[in-house]
Amino acid sequence: MNWDDTTDADAAERLVDSVADREDQAVEAALRPKDLGEFIGQEKVREQLDLVLRAARARGATADHVLLSGAPGLGKTTLSMIIAAEMGAPIRITSGPAIQHAGDLAAILSSLQEGEVLFLDEIHRMSRPAEEMLYMAMEDFRVDVIVGKGPGATAIPLELPPFTLVGATTRAGLLPPPLRDRFGFTAHMEFYEPAELERVIHRSANLLEVEIEPDGAAEIAGRSRGTPRIANRLLRRVRDYAQVKADGLITRDIAEAALAVYEVDARGLDRLDRGVLEALLKLFGGGPVGLSTLAVAVGEERETVEEVAEPFLVREGLLARTPRGRVATPAAWAHLGLTPPRSQTAGNGQQDLFGA
């Protein structure tokens, strides 16, 4: 194969992946609840947010700014869309990494309509100059646009129509207090219980016109890491398996067989999770080992291990962070069917783990 053929093949593969991603995004959008009544789980957040929105509508006012924090896939984007729908307002969606200059933010804010909802995902990753401009915009609905440079620079005040900012973050601790304090309502999204995920799966299966038995839904829910987005993704993959390998009906046996093909085990660990655990146990004797070293051992970026695999492994009690590095717990050895070395069961390993 010559270079042109290789290039064409790579381009075709990227095109296929891009089309598949768009199709998945379209399906996810179709599965999103449209109002608070359809939204499953997060009862406290729903109750509090419902009061905020009802009161704003009764006053004929724009809703207070809302900050939603929590792990990816718990419904922050969906809730922002519901806020806009409940207020009968349009929504503008952007993200912190896309706003690297104050001018970027000024351009967005100046084009907002009255009452519009601005959803700012990953708000903790916004640049500091843009962040400082946002303070005034949230509080006074005004921004100062700097014209010129040096001693001759002047600030031109730009009045903004009242709007509602919905900020979403996976790392609320990185938000400076002045920014957090400007939100009228803050909520933390919790991980879902299996029973709640079963309701999510049944609702999605109905929308996708997929037949699923209760034990099939329970099997998928138990491997979904407490996250609706993952539950819906696994449901679609199990649906594919059931259509190709069976009669389309999702039972527990079908769900188990399908998830085995996609390398999702009974606790919800996927290939990356098990790779991290296997490296930690087999290469480093259970630790302690530094995060960068562990990432190199599994062939992944440090950020991928830290932000994708590690939070779930810690939450499941399979891995612990200590001052000396990452350490496997006894549950990790048991999950992979391995025997911990004598030194860890009798000495330093457990001291590092439980004394940190």
Annotated binding site: 31-32, 73, 76-78, 139-141, 182, 192, 229, 302, 321, 326
Q: Give the CA distances from residue 147 to residues 66, 75, 103, 128, 133, in Å, rounded to whole numbers and listed in that order.
A: 31, 40, 11, 19, 15
Residues making up the binding site for DNA: 302, 321, 326
According to DSSP, the residues that pair with 154 across neighbouring strands are: 147
According to DSSP, the residues that pair with 332 across neighbouring strands are: none
Pairwise CA distance, residues 134 & 25, whole Å = 30
Does residue 158 sit in helix, strand or coil?
A: strand
Pairwise CA distance, residues 189 & 228, whole Å = 12
User: Is the separation of the CB atoms in 131 and 176 below 8 Å?
Assistant: yes
Catalytic residues: 76-77, 121, 170, 229
Q: At what angle do helices 228-245 and 194-207 cross, to 10 degrees?
A: 50
Pairwise CA distance, residues 80 & 167, whole Å = 9
According to DSSP, the residues that pair with 60 across neighbouring strands are: none
> Residue 269: how many CA atoms within 13 Å on its side-chain side?
22
Residues making up the binding site for Mg(2+): 77
Q: Which helix (H) or strand (E) holds 328?
A: strand 325-328
Residues making up the binding site for ATP: 31-32, 73, 76-78, 139-141, 182, 192, 229
Which sign does the torsion angle of CA 137, 142, 144, 145 carry? positive
Written as six digits, the tokens of 221 are 């829910």
Question: Which residue type, as a one-letter code, is found at position 276?
Answer: V
Name the CA dihedral angle for 344, 347, 353, 354, rounded to a multiple of 10 degrees.
Answer: 140
